[in-house]
Amino acid sequence: MASDLLRTSDIAKTLGVHANTVRNYEKWGYLPEIPRGENGYRAFTAVHLEQTRLACLVLQWPYLGERTPLVHLVQSAARQEFNTALAMANNYLTQIRKTQAVAETAVQLLEHWVNGRLTDTTTQTMTISQTAAHLNVTVETLRNWERNGLIDVPRQPSNQYRIFGATEFARLRVIRQLVQAGFSLMAISHTLQWVDGGKTDNLREALTLPPHERANEAIDVMGDHWLPSLQEMEQQAQTIIQQINRLIQLVDQT
């Protein structure tokens, strides 16, 4: 049985992480208690290996929302509170799918607008403050969208005040929906330039910025490639659930 025991270096090599990562996982409560051999070295079992695999899987980027619930998920599994861990994982998957539904609704709104099936029935023109109240956003938000090139607002010749009409309202509703759904301003700007240039198809492709067009390639801005990121997170969440079930089976066999 002793031959089945693993060292810290064995765990690290198997999972492709640094040995200090494994030691930190132990310190942070991500792993079950690790017995020590007569030589004082940690003696890991297959359960420790699979729990470490779970921790690596759960805590890798990207993930949706705050990291804290995911940490609690890993710690629950380490305590072998698997029902709690599974419930957390399933809740996380549900959260991702709800976010995907919101993103899909925003894309559909964009498609309807581009194809002329979304218009604004407002007949009167408004100032920027009236428009902000009408759309339930702040004045600074509207100015920011304009600064970022998402909309070009006409101005009154007499005083140069911005004047918003039905055309602007419809466009702003689309922008607002895309922003609220998680798409970055860069991705939205790229898409609107696409549309303004006469392209009305492949809008999903336009919403996913290629790496060379992202604001800072050193920083992963998920909103620049939001739809693929959500799909990746959904697959990750499903793998997390599978890994917890694998741990349950392994513990039952020991």
Residue 197 burial class via C-beta count within 10 angstroms: exposed 0-12, middle 13-18, buried 19 and up: exposed
Share of the chain above pLDDT 90, in %: 78
Residue 190 has pLDDT above 60, yes or no: yes
Query: For the domain 99-228, what is the CATH code?
Result: 1.10.1660.10
Who wins on pLDDT, 173 or 217? 173
pTM, 2 dp = 0.89
Average pLDDT over residues 72-94: 98
Same-fold call for 2-97+229-253 versus 99-228: yes
**Tell me: the pLDDT tens digits for 91-125?**
999 999 999 999 999 999 999 999 887 666 777 89
Return the SS3 of 159: coil
At residue 40, the pLDDT reads 80
- Run of H or E residues at 95: helix 82-114
The CATH fold assigned to 2-97+229-253 is Multidrug-efflux Transporter Regulator; Chain: A; Domain 2 (1.10.1660)
**Domain ranges, ordered by start, for the chain:** 2-97+229-253, 99-228
Residue 52 has pLDDT above 70, yes or no: yes
Task: Report the distance separating Cα 37 and Cα 46, nearest Å.
Answer: 16
Task: Report the distance separating Cα 228 and Cα 12, nearest Å.
Answer: 29
Task: Report the distance separating Cα 1 and Cα 32, nearest Å.
Answer: 19
